[in-house]
Amino acid sequence: MQIVKPVEQVDMARNKRLLNRYRYIEYETLRILAAWLPATARMEYKLALGRFIWEEAQHVQHLYRRLREVQTPAFRPPDDPALEELMAEAINAPDERSLLAGLFRVIKPALAAAYRWHITQTFANPDAPTLYALRHILLDETEHLAWAEAELADHPADDWERYIADLLAHAGGVTGDSDRPALSSPSACRKPFKTPLTAARDERFAIMTQPWGDATARAKDEEAERRLAEFENYSQEMLAAETVALIIHLSPEMPWGFVYDSARHCYDETRHCLLGIEWMEQHGLDYARVPQNIRIYEWRSQYDPATQYCLLTRGNEAHAFPFRHKSLAQYEAAGDLLSAQYVSYDIADERQHVAYGSKWLLELMTQNNIDLPLDQFIEETVDLWRREYMSGELPLHRQREEAS
Ligand SMILES: [Fe+2]
Ligand SMILES: [Fe+2]
């Protein structure tokens, strides 16, 4: 009997172990980026983070689909404390650029290199679904690396990056198979991550300080004014993305399906923000001159994640449709194709967001120990939204903030 010795280095057991490590790194990267979205000040970075969060979710989804074919349960910890320590530490960066440098100049390049190596070493035909997943993930990862290379070109490798590289080496690299040198001391610039209760903005933006006024007083009758106000508001939708990102960060026990939907929700809101920015630029206007109403994020963030999710999906999002449809009709009647297109796509996204709300709210309530019938919770939370958001008051309840 002839025995053929395979040349491939990745057998099925090793394949599973590696896929678990990749899935873990991709998922934790998503969670770290979500945690940092509100804390990141530079608008260009915030907009990019929205896309990265969604794309990391696609990567996890690819790996999840493959893992569930070869193991049950599909999601497993990597069974390597050193790798868990790396991803637990990567969030504690001193600032947003160091955070991105650690993730995009240390961890991601190593991950991409592991994917490229893996593609050449697994059994090409029997393991073709893994190859498909890795090849498609690499399309995004290559772009992420190029983005970071350009954005961080003037950011020198610092002690933080050295620390992340040390932690990665101590975990035996992405595959865990390299030599594991002893860990040196943590970076002196390490800053324990704190949940951001306020939304950061860079120095270009003015912060809205005057009272917001109630919804009726804010409404504009004149068509051009109303249109401008609508797209100025779009340019502020980073606030919704920040709330969804915060909910992802605060809900580590929610199922993967929730994180996947929320990654999309978060990305959509960054796209709506960008759509406002683009519209303003196309009309010769500077979006940075629109004062940022970051109080909205601060107000929402004082509540538990289920309440925040309900305020957003059942308050803001569920109630926006009549306004948007009126806009759409006006833009179409005026032959304003650009505005009509933007609003049409927004309406399609927002329908999904309301559907996510219906799909996940009950489970999020359970996670947050809210023991009310769903309908009652929604009714009370929408009342709260009317009282505190629609009135423009956005009160901060000190005791609640301290208790959180
Ligand atoms: Fe939106
Ligand atoms: Fe939305």
Q: Which ligand is nearest to the CA of 276?
A: 1
What average pLDDT does this structure show over 228-251?
97
For the chain, how many helices (H) and strands (E)?
A: 18, 0
For the stretch 140-152, pLDDT in tens is 999 999 999 999 9
CA distance 360 to 352: 12
pLDDT tens track for 14-66 = 999 999 999 999 999 999 999 999 999 999 999 999 999 999 999 999 999 99
Q: How far is the CA of 291 from the centre of ligand 2 (A)?
A: 21
Whether 215-403 and 12-170 are alike in CATH topology: the answer is: yes
Average pLDDT over residues 375-402: 88
So what's the pLDDT on residue 402?
Answer: 44
From ligand 2's centre to the CA of 153, what distance in Å?
Answer: 34
Average pLDDT, the chain: 95
Mean pLDDT of 122-143: 97
Q: Average pLDDT for residues 81-95, to the nearest whole number?
A: 98
Share of the chain above pLDDT 70, in %: 98
pLDDT of residue 212: 73
In the chain, where the domains are located: 12-170, 215-403
Cα–Cα distance between 317 and 310 in angstroms, integer? 10
Nearest ligand, measured from the Cα of 353: 2
Please determine, looking at this structure, whether the domain spanning 12-170 carries the CATH number 1.20.1260.10. Answer: yes
Distance, CA of 56 to CA of 27 (rounded, Å): 7
Residue 308 tokens, joined: 């925040």
Separation of CA 324 and ligand 1 centre (Å): 11
CATH number attached to the domain at 215-403: 1.20.1260
- Is the model's pLDDT at 404 over the cut of 50? no
The confidence score (pLDDT) of residue 401 equals: 47
pLDDT at 399: 56
Per-residue pLDDT of 321-365, as tens digits, reads 999 999 999 999 999 999 999 999 999 999 999 999 999 999 999
- Residues 169-216 pLDDT 10s: 999 999 999 999 999 888 899 999 999 999 999 999 989 877 777 777
pLDDT digits (tens, 9 = 90+) for 257-274: 999 999 999 999 999 999
Q: What's the whole-number mean pLDDT along residues 153-176?
A: 97
Query: Which ligand has its closest atom nearest to the C-alpha of 238?
Result: 1
Taking each helix axis as running N to C, give the angle between helix 43-70 and helix 12-36, from 0 to 180 degrees, rounded to the nearest 10. 150
Confidence of residue 403 (pLDDT cuts 50, 70, 90): very low
Q: Identify the CA nearest to 214 among candidates 390, 36, 402, 399.
A: 390
CA 355 – ligand 2 centroid, Å = 10
The pLDDT of residue 273 is 98
